[in-house]
Structure formats: C-alpha cells, structure tokens
Amino acid sequence: MLYSSKTPAEKRVALRQALAGPGLVRFPGAFNPLSARLIESKGFEGVYVSGAVISADLGLPDIGLTTLTEVATRAGQIARMTDLPSLVDADTGFGEPLNAARTVQTLEDAGLAGMHLEDQVNPKRCGHLDGKSVVDLDTAVNRIKAAVDARRDANFVVMARTDMRAVEGFAAAVDRAKALVDAGADAVFPEALEGLAEFEAMAEALDVPILANMTEFGKGRLHTQDELRDAGVRMVIYPVTLLRLAMGEAERGLDEIIASGTQEALLDRMQHRRDLYDLIDYEGYSQFDDTVAGFTVTKE
Ligand SMILES: C[C@](O)(C(=O)O)[C@H](CC(=O)O)C(=O)O
Ligand SMILES: [Mg+2]
C-alpha cells in the first residue's frame, strides 16, 4: 500500500547484485509510476526511467529541454512505486561536471538505484538522431569523476554512456568506454552499436557490465535476450516500448470511437477495472479503512 516496501538503499544493493550476476537483467521503461508496478508484477528485474519518455510525455523532443528537477521528480515518483531498482537516464548530467555532481545527489535523494551519464555535448540529442557530437575526453572523464565523487551511497550505480560509436566509430567507442571505467564508472552503456559482434567485443574489452539499448525504430537491430546474453551483455533496456504500445492503442481506440460511436468493441483490449485495482492495491487500502476505500467491482 502507498509505497514500495523497500528502501532506496536496499534497491541499490539489488541493482549491484543484478549487475554482478551471470545472467541478463531486463529493465523495461516505465512511462508512469503505475506502469512500474506492472513491470514488477510481470517479474522483470528492474525499471528504466527514460529521458526520451519523460520528454515525449511532456510533448517535447528529446533534445535536452527537460530540467534536473523535472527528471528527478518523475523518476522519484516512479521509483517509489516499485520494489524493483530503478535506473534513470540523467542525460549529460544537466550541464558540466559540477552539475553532474548535483545531479547524482538529487537522484539519490529521489530514491533511484542508479543513473547513466553520457558524453554528448550540451544540449544532448536522442542517441538515434543524426548529427550528434561528443565532448572531449577530459570533459567526459570529469563528468563521471564528479558524479562518482559526489555520491553518498557507494551502492548508487553511476553508469557511463558513450555516444562515440556514431561519431568516431567502434574503436574510438571502446577507447572512450575504457577511459570512463578508469574514471570510476560502474557500468557502461555503449549507445548505437551496430550488431552483436560489437556488443561482444565491447563486453570483452571492459571489466564492468554493459547495457544494451533495445529501442525500436532506431539505428540498431532488435536482438533477443538469448543473443544479448551470449554476447556478454548484462542489462537490457526497452526504454520507450511501453509508451509506444500505449500510444498506439490510444490512437487506435480514438479511431474506433470515431468510427463506431462507442468504445464497446475495445473492452477486451483494455485493462479491466479489476486488474487496475489489483495493481494499485485497492484491497490493501480497503483493509486499512473500508469506510474510505471499500469497493466492489460490479461489471465483469
Ligand atoms: C535510451 C534513451 O536515451 C532514452 O532516453 O530512453 C533513448 C531512447 C530512444 O530515443 O529511443 C536513446 O537515446 O536511445
Ligand atoms: Mg535518453
């Protein structure tokens, strides 16, 4: 009821353990706090909070328009609703190294288990857009160092994302990733790799876990979990998948209401009131005080 039953500290330990394990952990992107509960109920290992989703949710393009306050608020609302660890997209840290330091502390306070920080120039762009550029090595390293030094919970995961692959090629991306690990990154998110062989070579080159971004309609293929695991990938994110599914259904539903004048034909595709109530745990509130939250679901 109300909140997750685990503390942020416990969730950070869980994220560390997940990253250390031999398997592949799966972090779908929650587009709101409620969908984080759905992800948990299905047995996933964690929740991803996507910058692209937070921007899109506000009707904005993913080009560095959102602020630290907006991201920390939304990520905190999501993290608090699940017992799973949540990893948030901290973009470039919202500025330069000093901002990255403030970002890590703000996200710790918001209850996140970890974040990733990328080496794009400000303002950043979605990793699958053309015309990206990356900062020089010193700036990239200093961003990571600042974040690592500023965290107060040693278990808070600071993951380095590098967008170098699309800018200077694979070899440069490996060099950049190694430097970010030397700077203290706990894990690496190599953005926009091309093909499984590159994931395999990247995992091989680094002593820390790597993440694969299985985003749709982007630059890379959608690899299966078996393929990613065999390539040595430790974590996979599906950052925008649930938002795209929900928006696709919303659009088709609106079309149906226009076409037939009723939503009757859509009922089977909707989450039933009963399932929604289960996810929110109405029952728990009702047991706490049935004068406030008592309910019966009448229609089957
Ligand atoms: C992972 C990502 O950074 C995100 O914000 O979710 C995006 C996802 C997307 O735009 O599809 C990315 O840059 O890949
Ligand atoms: Mg992003």
> What CATH code is carried by the domain that includes residue 183?
3.20.20.60
Distance 182 CA to ligand 2 centre (A): 23
Indicate the helix (H) or strand (E) that contains 241: helix 241-260
* The one catalytic residue among 37, 45, 48, 74: 48
The answer on 230 and 137 residing in a single domain is: yes
The answer on 205 and 83 residing in a single domain is: yes
The answer on 236 and 273 residing in a single domain is: no
* Model confidence at 191: pLDDT above 90: yes
The answer on 134 and 23 residing in a single domain is: yes
The answer on 272 and 220 residing in a single domain is: no
Residue 43 lies in a domain: yes
Residue 300 lies in a domain: no
The answer on 162 and 114 residing in a single domain is: yes
- Residue-wise pLDDT tens digits, 165-175: 999 999 999 99
* pLDDT attached to residue 121: 94
The answer on 268 and 229 residing in a single domain is: no
Our mutation pick for probing the ligand 1 site, out of 48, 57, 88, 89, counting the most ligand atoms within 8 A of Cβ, is 89
Indicate the helix (H) or strand (E) that contains 236: strand 235-238
Q: Which residues line ligand 1 (CB under 6 A)?
A: 50-52, 62, 89, 126-128, 213, 215, 218, 239-240
> What average pLDDT does the structure give for the chain?
95
The reply to whether ipTM tops 0.90 is yes
The tokens describing 54, both together, are 């937070």
For this structure, is 149 an active site residue? no
For this structure, is 62 an active site residue? yes
What is the atom index within ligand 1 of the atom nearest the CA of 55?
5
Distance 242 CA to ligand 1 centre (A): 13
Residue 299 lies in a domain: no
- Residue-wise pLDDT tens digits, 40-94: 999 999 999 999 999 999 999 999 999 999 999 999 999 999 999 999 999 999 9
Residue 299 banded pLDDT, cuts 50, 70, 90: low
The tokens describing 101, both together, are 């330091």
In the three-class reduction of DSSP (H, G, I as helix; E, B as strand; rest coil), residue 32 is classed as coil
Euclidean distance between the first and the last CA atom of the chain, given in angstroms as a whole number: 25
- Residue-wise pLDDT tens digits, 262-278: 999 999 999 999 999 99
Residue with the larger pLDDT of the pair 126 and 173 = 173
Ion ligand 2, residues whose Cβ is below 5 A away: 51-52, 89
The separation between CA 14 and the C-alpha centre of its own chain, rounded to angstroms, equals: 16
* pLDDT attached to residue 300: 59
Residue 3 lies in a domain: no
Report the pLDDT averaged over residues 106-129.
Answer: 93
* pLDDT attached to residue 298: 62
* Dist. CA 269–CA 249, nearest whole Å: 9
* pLDDT attached to residue 274: 95
- Residue-wise pLDDT tens digits, 26-36: 999 999 999 99
Split into its structural domains, the chain has a count of 2
- Which residue minimizes the CA distance to atom 11 of ligand 1? 215
Residue with the larger pLDDT of the pair 33 and 1 = 33
- The residue among 222, 240, 258 that closes a domain is 240
The answer on 108 and 74 residing in a single domain is: yes
Those residues with Cβ within 8 angstroms of residue 166's Cβ, 6 or more apart along the chain or in another chain: 127, 132, 191, 192, 219
The tokens describing 224, both together, are 């299966």
The answer to whether the CB of 192 falls within 8 A of the CB of 172 is no
* Model confidence at 290: pLDDT above 80: no
Pairing of strands 25-28, 47-49: unpaired
For this structure, is 176 an active site residue? no
Residue 1 lies in a domain: no
Distance 49 CA to ligand 1 centre (A): 10
Domain that holds residue 208: 8-240
Residue 296 banded pLDDT, cuts 50, 70, 90: confident
* The one catalytic residue among 26, 74, 119, 126: 126
The answer on 56 and 107 residing in a single domain is: yes
Q: What percent of the chain is modeled with pLDDT above 90?
A: 87
- Residue-wise pLDDT tens digits, 224-250: 999 999 999 999 999 999 999 999 999
